[in-house]
Amino acid sequence: SVTRGQELALNTTKSMEDINAQVDAINEAITVIDQIAFQTNILSLNAAVEAATAGEAGRGFAVVAQEVRNLASRSAEAANEIKHIVEQATLKANEGKQVATQMIEGYKALNDNISNTLELITEVSAASKEQQSGIEQINDAVTLLDQQTQKNASIANQTQEIANETNLLADGIVKDANAKEFNGKNNVQSSKKDKSKDEFGYEKVQRTAKKVEPTFEHKPTKAHKEEKVFASKSSSDDEWESF
């Protein structure tokens, strides 16, 4: 639209120049008419003088000379009026030409501003693409973090399942141990009860298992000695009865 307006303004300027050229031609024509009227007026005055000199014979010619003089005067007045109008038209044409020139300069400045705006829009578009690329990278990173978080959650769930299975296995071991009958069992249970306030269940079973081994090894030895003492103190001759 700016380019089209600039073209129209240039065409307007050319039209104003053409009008000025035509006005100049009209001024020349009016000048010629004014000169013809002036010469006609002089000729009519000369004719009137000659008619007056002729007396009665030239009276009719004097009337004709007066009419020609009047026509010449009216032609001169009309030429002056037309000349004044043409001068006003010339001034207006020049003003229009100046306005058209200012319009051309304004359109040129507007076109430059539009070009600068297009450059800024291009820069904004490039920056937007860079921001979009950065946002995509951030989205990818967030997606990777989400996936890693899900993996961590899955590993945590698996860890919890393993811990639960280990706890169940430990409880089974403890129940199985409680179901067995052996010397020192009460001591094992008492030591377990002493550690019952510990917050780690697996450690309780492990510590209890550590205490079972020395107690279990030590008691059969005492029992074996007691059996020997009991066998020695027995008064019965039958070996199976003493056993």
What are 86-132's pLDDT values in tens digits? Answer: 888 888 888 888 888 888 888 888 889 999 999 999 999 999 999 99
Query: What's the predicted TM-score (pTM) here?
Result: 0.43
In the chain, the domains with their CATH numbers are 2-129 (1.10.287.950), 180-242 (no CATH)
229 or 166, which is more confident: 166
pLDDT mean over 131-136: 92
The torsion region of residue 184 among left (phi > 0), alpha (psi -120 to 50) and beta comes to left
pLDDT mean over 217-222: 43
Residues 14 and 132: their CA atoms lie apart, in Å, by 51
* Listed residue (15, 2, 22) closest to 100, CA to CA: 15
- Residues above pLDDT 90, as percent of the chain: 19
Q: What is the pLDDT of residues 177-209, one digit of tens each?
A: 777 776 666 665 544 444 444 444 444 444 444
Angle ∠(192,193,198) on CA atoms, nearest 5: 80
pLDDT exceeds cutoff 80 at 61:
no
